[in-house]
Structure formats: structure tokens, C-alpha cells
Structure 1
Amino acid sequence: MKRACLALSAVALTATGLAAADVAAAEPVQTASADCSHLYVLTDGRGRGLTGKTWDDAGTTVPAGAQMDKFRYDDGIVPGVHPHSLDETRRVAAPALAQKVLDFHRACPGSPVTLVGYSFGALISGDAVELLAAKNEVPHELLNAVLIADPRRHVADTASQGPSGGIMSVAPDGPGMHTPGPRDFRGVKVASICREDDLVCNAANPISNAQAFTGEMQRLPTAHGAYGDADPNRNYWARPANFADVGDLVLPPSAPITWGPAAFPAPMPRELLNDNEVYKGAMDGLTQSGDALAWANVLNTFGLPGDEIVHGFWKALQEAGAGY
């Protein structure tokens, strides 16, 4: 079980990052406009946080009369590999997105806002909704979200593989990647769209159903990228507004599932380890060590403007399409 939990922490870093964010200093593009029509804000996934290329490739549109904007952010997961950790990305990007919504609401107090996110973008969008819902400055009836492949999706029992949920609701904390589990949206309407065999949003319990978890790992690239369709009415990237009322929508698997349900009942690794003081202390220590290796922090110790240098470099790489 210990081996499975440690492996899961590493997998969570990889899985959550396959499509979501990579530095941490969010750079929201504020649209200076008097347009108070329904605002849709799109937040893309790993490696495309600064470009929104998923939305461009899908030809994403919103209903006539509404406006569409992208939230651009640096997306980091592993310090030393990326300029910042996943924790730092979330700490900066989610509040910046929430502030973008607040600014729009203050300028257009009666206008609705929809946050749309995919993968790591769903993580940031969902976190922003949770922040906004707790503050109550934006009326809940004016705010909603469409989250595609959300890593913090709630855990639910399934007939095909037993209890399953977002990887950050299943996996224990990892270095620089704390897993807070499901959110409390406090009544804000949120549509959560997930393919049944997508490890990012519907991970099986690796303790009680290792076969399912391993099968999902093998399918990850295919299943996690299967939210488009030739029919635009079934293309969740292209027409997100069409699915705002679906609630918790579980899509068919990308291929027939060959594994079965859990062999025995067991708590999720997150439940087992995140409240364990020894494990928590070890992960916090590794997080601090990793932060010390982050590129920006290393440059800062030499008196250089590390954030500006590293973020500029990373942004140039992403804008150039590096890694695609």
C-alpha cells in the first residue's frame, strides 16, 4: 500500500499537469471595454495557459450577444523543472482570476459571468469560483462555471470501477502539490464534465482497484484529450455554453473498460495520508526544499529580478508553441 501511495503522488504530478498551467505568476488579460454582455472567461490547461491553444484549435464560440475572453496564466508544477510549483501556481492564478471577475462585476453589476476551464484550467477556474462564492460579493445567480476534466472533482461510487474522483481528491499531498480535495461551491451552479476513464477527473482508488488505476494511466493521453467531437453540439471545448446545465456529467469511456470494480472497500490515499502528521511533515519539508530550487527564487538570491526573467523566458517558449 505504501508503494502504491508513493507512486500515486508522482502520478498525480504528471496527470494533473498533462493539460493545465506552468509557472505561477498569473498574467490575466483584462479587457478594457464598456461591454456588459454575458462574459465567458476561458482558462486553458497545462502548457497552454498562456496561449489558450485548446480553445483556438476547437474554434470555441459563445452564444450570440455574449463576449468571450481568455484568462492567461503561467502554469508550473515541479520546481526546478518549471519555474514554480503547482501550489504556487494555484496561489497566484486563482485569486487573479477571481479578481478579474470582481472587476467586471463592479463595472457591470447586473451581468452574468461564466468561467470555463479545461484540466489545470478547470482547477484554476473551480478554485476561483470557490473563492468568489465564499465572499458573496458577486451574487451567486450571476456566476456559474463549466469545468472540463477537473482534477478536484468530487469522489463518487461508480459501477465500473468503484469510488472514483479527481486526482487531487484521490491522491495524497506531493512535494509542492498539496491536494485539498473537493470544493464547496456554496450553491453556485457548476457543470462538471468528465470522461469515465480519464485519470485526471475520475481516478480509481489505487489501493482497492489497482487494475483500474493502472488502466487509466495507460489511457491517459487518449481519454484526457477526448472532449472534442466532429459534431459541434457534442464538442465540449467548442460549445461550452451548451453544457452549463448538465450538472455532474460523466461521459462514456474513450474505449470499452476492461477492468472491474474495486476488490474491497478502502479509503482514498488522500484520506489515509493527508491527516498523518509524519507524512504531512515530510511533504511540507520536500515542498520547502523544492521551492528553494525554483529558478526564479535562485535568481532572486543573486539579486536579479528572477520572476521577471523566468516568466519572460517561459512565456516566450509557450507563445512559440514549445512542447506542443
Structure 2
Amino acid sequence: MIVRQKVPRLGLILPAYNEEEVLKTTLTKLKIIRSEMIKKGSIQPDSFIMIVDDGSKDRTWALINEYESEADQIIGVKLSRNFGHQPALLAGMSEASKMADAMITLDADLQDNPEIIEQMVNKYNQGYEIVYAVRSSRKTDTWFKRNTALAFYKIAGWLGVDLVPNHADFRLMSRTSVKALMKMPERNVFLRAMVPLLGYPSAEVTYERGTRQAGSTKYPLKKMLTFAVDGITSFSVKPIRFLFDLGVLIVGIAGVEIIYTLIAKMLGHAQAGWSSLMVSIWLLGGINLMAIGVVGIYIGKIFTEVKQRPRFQIENVTGEKTPGPVSDVSTYKKASSE
């Protein structure tokens, strides 16, 4: 690695979906941190904050326009509808990579501790292309969330999915690594596994995750489970192999039962077994449905990929400093009064 001599222009990217309650607090905090880093000479004076409105239903976009008019270094990106957290991050990085040397993605609810941003930039200056912000503990989580998260990382690792444990989407990426990420064309986006696949020099910075400052979580249990399943099935075919092995095992058990039944019949000990019959039907029926469901998930992903639809659609950009082509997106402008 080569130590960087140039002070980077930093872009802070915040995906926002219905975040009007917390947006002002978040921007106030980030502007203070940005100003302090500029005074220290850690980042360029034109470093910016980019907020990606992921199809919010509240006043999030109106607030972004207000703040953009108050501070020249706040940029708003409006998506045409709600595409989801991961595509919103991609949209922000796609726009920010035209202007910034390094980009940091973090949530708008301030649970990601912005105080470590300077440490992440220091790692970047040491030559690292990617810097992961990793939680030092999960004491702020409920017992259920903490244990299910740990189980997810163990299962994902066993299935061959390369993840950074206790890391979400709070990370720094250089322009080089972002451009490489944009070359990955898949529509089933799971950045926590896609970024490590790039293979660039990386480092970790630990932090203590806080509580949401306002508003409600955008990841309830159902959405978290869906996100976990999507992530695993996007990067591993082991679930299908597991179902094949399970099928072989069941066929073996069935063979033993057939032999046992024939011997019992020849010895005259055969009896009607309603209970065992029902258990077998329900067991095999459930396994068949589960197997079909897993295979269906993979077929659904193939269906999504072959259509090659844009992963996100940018409707409007306010305060953008440098025009340029947008990777993997169709962009059209509307009046800023929206």
C-alpha cells in the first residue's frame, strides 16, 4: 500500500426513507464533524454531504431542498420511487463517485456513530481502499435481535458467504473501489457481501452503535429475515446442495423402512400404523415444499437478473457540483420545486 499524499474530497452518503423527524439533527451533527475535519486539514473544503431520498412519503425531500439552499455542500438525490436501502446506497455512490475521492455511507438515523469518520479517513490516507466500521458490541440490541444476528453470520459463513461480522453498511470506499463495485451488474444487491468480493486492501474501525434518535426503524423483523435470505441466496448455492443431501438421506431412511416393513410382513408382525403413516406424509410433504421454495427463490433471482432492469432511477439532483455520466441508471431532471 502507498500512503496517500493528497487530502481527499470526502462525500458522506445518507440513504433516507421517511426520515423527516431525524434529518435536521443528523445534518447538524455531520456538518459540525465536517467543519472540524476541514479545519484540521483532514479533508478538502468542498467535501459534501449527499442525502438520497428513497421515495419518501413524508417531507424528507422538501427538507433536503431547504437544507441544500442553506449550505452549498449538501446535495440531494431523489429517486423516482422506493427502490430499497441497497439500491439507494448504489445511487448515492454512483453520483458521489463523480466528485469525491472517498465516500462514506451511513444511515440517516445516527445509530452509526459519525465520530469515527475521521478515523476512517485516516485509514484511507494510509492506503486502504475500503474501511469497514464494525460494531464493538451488540448491547443496544434486544436479546432476540442480537442472537439472530450472530446466528446469521455463522450460517452465512458456513454457506460460504464472505461477510465482515458485526458490519452493516457503514463503510468508507475509495473512488477506485466504487467504480469496481459499479461493474458488478447484479440486480439482487447485497453490499455486505459484494464489497468484500472486490479484494481491495481493507481495514476495520470499531465503534459503539447508538440508538435511533427519532422516527421508527425501517427494518422490522419480516424485512430483516427477507434481507438475510436474499443475501445468502445471492452468494451461495449451498442451500440447494443441502436439500439434495437431505433428499439422499431421506431416501436412505425410506429404504431401511421398506426392508423393515417387508421383514415384518413375512414374519406376520405387520400392523396398521396410522400415526407413522401420517408423520411420514407430513414430514416428506413439508420437506418437498421447502425444497421447492428454495429452488423457487433461485429461479426468481434468475428471472430478476435476466430482465436487466435499472437498479435505481434518479428523478432529481440538487446542488450537484460536477456533471457527468451516471453508471447503470437513467437520469431525468424535474423542476426543483418538487
Tell me the TM-score range normalised by the shorter chain: 0.3 to 0.5
Q: TM-score, normalised by structure 2?
A: 0.33
Larger RCO (alpha carbons 8 Å, 6+ apart): 2
Point out the structure with max Rg over C-alpha.
2
